[in-house]
Structure 1
């Protein structure tokens, strides 16, 4: 069984190195990183898996706001980045982290989560492209990879607009 713990400040350097390893050191130019600029992560929803004191996987969530042209707003979470050490990929670390994090997010009262990623993988934890068809990001993105999940049934009904950093 995997031992999932809350991310600590002392984990940040190792997490940054893992993210570089998984996504490259230029990852900050991606649109999803613009949604995180100047906004703290949701600390109670940032988790790691360590084995023998070494970081093997990491998951973070960030607050975002979906804003419609009509001025309606819906708070949401942005899942990611999620990273798993190459030697541990395909062994359930990512799925375990997401299931754990999504359950905690629901317990904390969050209703909806979005991410940019491969639908066949993220579908395994309930994400769907169909739920995100009316969402837009403030920069270039492959919209086939923009996914959403409802933590509360019906939470994405009528939700449309641009995803922005939470203030």
Structure 2
């Protein structure tokens, strides 16, 4: 799919408007947002997709976090404009992040989402990884980009302000 680019600083507010359109008004009250406060996203893994006219159709962001002291990357939010849904754009953005994170040597990805959807990308439920409440533990999913990258990783997910 043509049209992908790394998110630039001047994309920020347009991406925020897309997130406002796609998610509930209280999205910033979710526990995952506490992990993002005061932390810069991983620049090379935040991606936007625009059509041939330059109209934003989708976006995904990635944030550094710690799980019991070990680095992980928190994927999300991912959003696709309602007029572009059903075209595979969300899956394309997720696969692009997975590929770029792997190429960058990142060992593991984490997200909060629906296991039936994200399992097709290789994400699995993480036992012993605790997102801030009130996150449903069944929705805490991980993907090892290196063999055994999640082995023995347990504990609370916390901000990574480094």
TM-score by length of 1: 0.92
User: Any idea what SS the aligned residue of 1:162 has?
Assistant: strand
Equivalent of 1:109 in 105, 109, 133: 105
Matched residue, 1:38: 38
User: Any idea what SS the aligned residue of 2:16 has?
Assistant: helix
Runs of 4 or more consecutive aligned structure 1 residues displaced over 3 Å after TM superposition = none
CA distance in 2, matches of 1:30, 1:12: 19
CA distance in 1, matches of 2:110, 2:157: 9
User: Any idea what SS the aligned residue of 2:17 has?
Assistant: helix
Matched residue, 1:55: 56
Matched residue, 1:99: 95
The answer as to 2:77 corresponding to 1:81 is yes
State the shift of 1:107 in Å: 1.2
State the shift of 1:83 in Å: 0.4
Equivalent of 2:156 in 146, 152, 162: 162
Give the paired residue count.
160
State the shift of 1:139 in Å: 2.2
Structure 2 gap segments, 5+ residues each: none
- Cα pair distance change 1:92/1:2, threshold 3 Å: farther
Structure 1 gap segments, 5+ residues each: 68-72
1:40-74, Cα deviation, whole Å (9 max, x unpaired): 0001111000011110000110000011xxxxx21
CA RMSD in angstroms comes to: 1.0
User: Any idea what SS the aligned residue of 2:37 has?
Assistant: coil
